[in-house]
Structure 1
Amino acid sequence: MSDLLVKVEQGLLRGAVVKSVVGESYIAFKGVPYAAPPVGKLRFKDPEPLQPWTGIRDALEEGPKCAQFNLFTKSIIGDDDCLYLNLATPSLTGSRPVMVWIHGGLFSYGDGGSDIYSPDYLMKTDIVHVGINYRLGILGFLQLEHEAASGNMGLKDQIAALKWLKENIAQFGGDPNNITLFGQSAGAVSAQYLLLSPLAKGLFHKAIMQSGVLSVPWAYVSEPLKMAHRYVAAFGKDITDQNEIVEYLRTIPAHKLIEMQTKISTPEETINLVLPFGPTVDNKSMRPLMPKPIEELAQKGIDVPVIIGYTAHEGAIFFSRDFQPKYAKLDKNFEASALRPLTAKAPSKAAVILQEIRKFYFDGKPVTKYPAANYARYIGDLQFIRGVHRMVDIQREKKSPTYLYRFAYDSPRSVTKIMYNVDEKDVIGFGVSHAEENPFLFYPSMYREHVKMEPGSPDQMVSDRLIRLWTNFAKTGNPTPLIDDLITTVWKPVTKATKNYLEINEELFTGEDLDEEMCETWKRIEMVSNTSSERFHPGRS
């Protein structure tokens, strides 16, 4: 390890050359602050500019994670002071494409560090990689519909990081005029928020959205003030004045705030991904990120090149061992609970909706938690896949290219299933769950004992292909500019006439009209339920 110094706007940073797990070295700057610590009076406030420092600041260790319940360790970790990024580059000279990773985690957990997202594999290519932390849960998304706490602080943290990179990335060998956002799940939803927000205009140029778009049901919180009042009441406080709520919550340690956050959701809300805190319309903010209804902004579509897609069986992740007790509590009313997102706004049409769901997913039989594969398919389509297709249909009307994919490689050594404690006997033969592409992009150092890609193995080939596609897109806006032994086919964007897609498996396959039967089924359901056809109807202004 050898030291390297870089001068940024705020002062000098010390980084180091580190050896990659794939044998190559790269330069890393870890725990780099990009905004003022949001502590004390700055808790629940928009991010403030970072103040200069004197002397040399070490950037050799990752900074603290944002306060959260850690799914992997089953403990509450992190703190308010967490607005740091981790940067990796092949060289401090030159001008390379920059890829900025926004982690997922339902806006409630995760970080941009190396436990799950070490950039070793990506550093085989000539790009600069950045992983960012942003405030989560109540600390990042408390929304009181008042300037005292106007919401979306976590998304504004992401914008603050992009502004810092725009000013400083050239010092790390990055091109400030060629920045690509990429994210998975909530990270992908975040990317689309930034694509549509006036506050992020000009800060990046392309986006890759893995298993997340604004038209998924959990992309925003519809009644934030009601949830905030429920949360405060759980502390035994009868407070409704917004300023008093903020002052009270600032007196509580971050870990206590997160502990209460884990307790206020019902099992039904948890299963249906009804978030206690998440993105909202923030038109009471002095600087709104989403000044208009989210569905209205989403209708405008995206005007930069994008890759959008999902895994073949997103819902398999819901069969983690952690979820089993929650399913058990709903046995007596499981069918009603499972369909609540569809029937809540159309209770008089519940019977018709139920008939469509039973027919397509359950062979006309009652909805139960067994067989698990049927329910996993339903919940994955409901929470992820149908939303992706609605957004892609909007994009078919746009001039900027949109590339649709499905990741379908089912590794026999799935690191993701180990990470998320998925009960494989319940999903046997069901395939590729939510987040399963991530370990092919990133080295998950926390699970190093489970990760070993043999040269020439299917796992290694899939990883090489996925990284080549993603980095080609970051460099040129085209994921397949050159066909060779690794990239064996041209990936065409969708058009008005043809819904092209790429299937990423042991080999690459192209096709049209991906999951067409499922899409048609959901169009019928949405016409009956009116839960989303009005909000996300392609072509409607």
Structure 2
Amino acid sequence: MRAGREGGSAARWRTVAAAATLAAVLTAASAAPGPAGAPDGSAPDRSAPDRPAPQGAAPDRPAPDRTAPDRAVTGAPYGGTDFAGEVVRTETGPVRGVRSGEHTLFLGIPYAAPPKGAYRWTPPRPAARWSGVRDATKPGPLCPQVPSSYAPIASEEEDCLVLNVTTPPGSARRPAPVLVWIHGDGAVGGGAFFDGRRLAAQGLVVVTVNYRMGVFGGLALPGLEGSGTFGLQDQQAALAWVRRNAAAFGGDPGNVTVAGVSFGAAAIAGHLTSPGARNLFDRAVMASGEGMLDMPAGAMGPGVPGYPWYVWRTDREMRGITTEMTAPLGCAHRDPARTLGCLRALPVKRILEVPHIMNAFQAFGYGTPALPELPAGALREGRFHRVPVLSGATRDEHRTFVGMLYDAVGKPMTEDGYREALRTAFGRNAERVRAAYPSDAFPSPGLAWATVVTDRMWARGTEAQNRALGRHVPTYAYEFADRDAPMFLPLPGGFDFGAYHAGDLSYLFEDEKAEPLFTPAQRELAATMTAYWAAFARSGDPNAPGLPRWTPYRPGDRPPYTQSLAPDRIGPVDYHREHRLGFWSRLP
């Protein structure tokens, strides 16, 4: 009942698009803007003007050094500086930050040159130097995206490859670990506006990153350098920038953790297997990662087909999507060079007007120099960069999507709808699944279906990822289990979202919407979680004095250890039993 592993035209994305947007909607809406104000999409004042090459010219793209930190250009060595002057020297010039309580924030720092004009759909290039002190007190623009009803953020600005840096409070005798955050948002929306002060308070330098998304990050054409992976390469350019510049902000360039949620975590699965990411980070955190998810038909809504690998497509598939999705723009020529020239000549606004053009390019292309093989397969076979990993999911991942697809639009799933969903997803095995998950064992058919997909898709995929990683590197598995996590989207009441997808972000990042809703126990959980994350960033082990013991995940244990994170209990959970993974192991 599911689509084949190869093939699949862009037409399927017209049905997938509405459901695929949900992941973007939730994380974009739940992320609070930084304390300097909400990003408005306006272009910053550039001290060094962009000088795009003439149309059709070959871009001059010096290859940055992505392996060794450049200590010579990152300013004075860190010696207890408290950033009282709020000016830091980077490799391309000094920047002036802004104080926010005990922290200093440096906002909108370019890590790569603007990818526009003849440089639209080229790999990232080094940022230009500037003279004088650059104002880094306001957020930079977000990369091109369209708004949704739940996340009304729009941008047409291509001069967007910027990052934000939040420094820890006070001074320190040693350089601080660095945590680089890759946002999720379905890889079609959002940006670097996550407020890192809560994590920085634990002694980390926190970096949040913009990168190209949707068609701007995933367009694929024959012979196009970077085809299908521009967003992924942007992230690698940002990580390389952090290696070279972290010391200027009090960070340790030799101790960098890359962390992400949802599609951001899927991107990290890509980085773990990408030759271009070698030596760019020392640890990884993958929250609600989608790198090994196998999506049943109908999981993302009626009529939405299944797909064996949720976030990965072959380069050939990505090229097919490009052909179909750019046809309405009049740019689908037989000659790829003509197609590219036509698309580069169009304004961003015109491209964004094509329905679903951002969602159609939601996946990452593999079979390319940046991603030579399917990352899920490479992880399973142990072909990945050896770094410690912290990996987990939420207890009720798929309630998010069921609640928004059905209840939020006033059409809760019925018993008949539940049976039909099971038949669509599991074919001849539908009755076996219904016997294991009878609707009368749940408050509603919708919650029964949400549990089925949480267990089958999310938990099975997360466990497969943990098992693949745990065979080779120190791995710490967790489940975020706060069933009363604040839900602050403007949705109709009555649906129990539980520990929903991305519900843990408000516990890691400052969030002005969630903070007033926290109970004392939830605030304590947030403090514990950030302490765990900081300890892991510091040493590759989340254990630290005063925290409940966290045993590593070992595939040979029965069951392997998973840490449950909830306000009323932090400790082991039998993830295998809780999500009936034995049952699902016997089904395709």
Into which bin does the TM-score normalised by the smaller protein fall?
0.7 to 0.9
Give the aligned partner of residue 379 of structure 1: 453
| Unmatched segments (≥5 aa) in structure 1 | 20-24, 266-274, 344-349, 527-541
Give the CA deviation at 1:214.
Answer: 1.6
Shift of 1:13: 1.1
Query: Contact between 1:103 and 1:187, CA under 8 Å: does it hold in 2?
Result: yes
Q: 1:132 aligns with which of 195, 209, 220?
A: 209
The residue aligned with 1:531 is none
Offset from partner CA, 1:410-469 (integer Å, 9 cap, x none) = 236x1xx323x444413x2x5110000000111124x3xx52277x81121111111111
How many angstroms does 1:330 deviate by? 11
| 1:280 counterpart residue number | 365
Change (3 A) 1:112 1:383: farther
1:464 aligns with 2:527: yes
Distance 1:309 1:236 in 2: 44
**Separation of aligned partners in 1, 2:511 and 2:292:** 29
Q: Which amino acid aligns with 2:531?
A: R
Match in the other structure for 1:410: 483
Pick from 485, 491, 503: which aligns with 2:564?
503
Kept in 2, the 8 Å contact 1:135–1:154? The answer is yes
Deviations 1:491-537 (A, max 9, x none): 333242341111001121214453465212222222xxxxxxxxxxx
| Mapped contact 1:213–1:391 kept (Cα < 8 A) | no
- Give the AA of the match of 1:157: D
CA RMSD of aligned residues (A): 3.1
On the 8 A contact 2:226/2:370 being kept in 1, the answer is no
CA contact (8 A) 1:220 1:278 kept: yes
Give distance in 2, aligned partners of 1:340 and 1:326. 23
* Superposition pairs of residues 519-538 of structure 1, within 5 angstroms: 519-526=581-588
Q: Tell me what 2:127 maps to.
A: 50
Higher alpha-carbon deviation: 356-365 or 36-45: 356-365
Q: 1:395 and 2:465 equivalent?
A: no
Q: Give 1:75 shift.
A: 5.4
Inter-partner Cα distance in structure 2 for 1:126 and 1:325: 40
The amino acid that maps onto 1:250 is: R
Number of the residue aligned with 2:389? 306
1:316 aligns with 2:399: yes
Distance 1:88 1:74, change over 3 A: closer
Distance in 2, matches of 1:244 and 1:341, equals: 42
Task: Tell me, yes or no, if structure 1 residue 476 matches structure 2 residue 539.
Answer: yes
Report the CA distance shift for 1:68/1:55 in structure 2 as closer, same or farther (over 3 A).
same
For residue 534 of structure 1, what is the aligned residue in structure 2? none
> Which amino acid letter does the alignment assign opposite residue 392 of structure 1?
N
The answer to whether the aligner puts 1:493 opposite 2:553 as a matched pair is yes
Structure 1 15/376 Cα, relative in aligned 2: closer, same or farther at 3 Å?
A: same
Deviation at residue 189 of structure 1 after TM alignment: 0.9
SS of the residue aligned with 2:197? coil
One-letter code of the match for 2:551? Answer: W
Q: Please give the per-residue CA displacement for 1:49-89, whole angstroms capped at 9, x wherever unaligned.
A: 11211111111111100111234344532421110000011
1:118–1:443 Cα contact (<8 Å) kept: yes
Report if aligned partners of 2:422, 2:434 keep a CA contact under 8 Å in 1.
no
Other structure's SS at 1:182 match:
strand
Check conservation: 1:231, 1:264, Cα contact below 8 A: no
In 2 relative to 1, CA 461–17 (structure 1 residues): closer, same or farther, beyond 3 Å? same
Query: Aligned partners of 1:259, 1:28: CA distance in 2, in Å?
Result: 35
- Give the direction of change, closer, same or farther, for the CA distance of 1:295–1:319 in structure 2 (3 Å limit): closer
The answer to whether the 8 A contact 1:6-1:171 is kept is yes
If the length of structure 1 is used for normalisation, what is the TM-score? 0.81
Determine if contact 1:232/1:239 at 8 Å carries over to the other structure: no
Superposition deviation, residue 201 in structure 1: 0.6
Contact 1:30 1:63 in 2 (8 A): yes
* Separation in structure 2 between the aligned mates of residue 392 and residue 525 of structure 1, nearest angstrom: 20
Within 5 A, what are the aligned runs for 1:82-97? Answer: 82-90=160-168, 94-97=174-177
- Secondary structure of 2:562 counterpart: strand
- 1:99 maps to 179
Tell me which amino acid in the other structure corresponds to 1:494: R
1:461 match: secondary structure: helix
Relative to structure 2, which stretch is displaced further, 355-364 or 464-473?
A: 355-364
Distance 1:263 1:141, change over 3 A: closer
Match for residue 192 of structure 2 among 88, 102, 112: 112
Contact 1:206 1:304 in 2 (8 A): yes
1:41-190 maps to which residues of 2 (within 5 A)? 41-71=118-148, 72-74=150-152, 76-90=154-168, 94-113=174-193, 117-147=194-224, 150-190=227-267
Query: Which runs of 5 or more residues in structure 2 are unaligned?
Result: 1-35, 37-83, 294-308
Comparing 97-106 with 137-146, greater Cα deviation is found at: 137-146
* Letter paired with 1:107: A
Amino acid across the alignment from 1:522? W
SS of alignment partner, residue 366 of structure 2? coil
Whole-angstrom CA distance in 1 between matches of 2:182 and 2:128: 24
1:444 aligns with 2:538: no
Secondary structure of 1:121 counterpart: helix
Distance 1:146 1:383, change over 3 A: farther
What is aligned with 2:287? 210
The whole-number CA distance in structure 2 between the counterparts of 1:261 and 1:494 is 45
Give, in angstroms, the shift of residue 314 of structure 1: 0.4
Whether the 8 Å CA contact 2:408–2:491 is kept in 1: the answer is no
Q: Distance in 2 between matches of 1:443 and 1:335?
A: 38
Pick one of 422, 433, 441 that aligns with 1:357: 433
Distance 1:149 1:177, change over 3 A: closer
Deviations 1:238-293 (A, max 9, x none): 5343222222222222233233243797xxxxxxxxx543201142xxxx210123
Cα 1:78–1:440 shift into 2, 3 Å = farther
C-alpha separation between the residues in 2 aligned to 1:340 and 1:230? Answer: 30
SS of the equivalent of 1:146 reads coil
Tell me which residue corresponds to 2:33.
Answer: none
Cα distance in 2 for partners of 1:226, 1:392 equals 32
| Aligned CA distance change for structure 1 residues 78 and 86 (closer, same or farther; 3 Å) | farther
Cα offset for 1:200?
0.8
Distance in 2 between residues matched to 1:141 and 1:308, nearest whole Å = 26
Q: How many residues align?
A: 482
Farther-moved stretch of structure 1 (487-496 vs 124-133):
487-496
Secondary structure of 1:473's aligned partner? helix
Is contact 1:138–1:261 with CA below 8 Å preserved after alignment? no
* Superposed displacement of residue 235, structure 1: 3.4
Distance 2:276 2:423 in 1: 35
In structure 1, distance between residues paired with 2:115 and 2:530:
35
CA distance, structure 2, for counterparts of residue 334 and residue 245 of structure 1 = 44
Contact 1:198/1:289 (CA < 8 Å) preserved in 2?
Answer: yes
Q: Is the 8 A contact 1:12 1:57 kept in 2?
A: yes
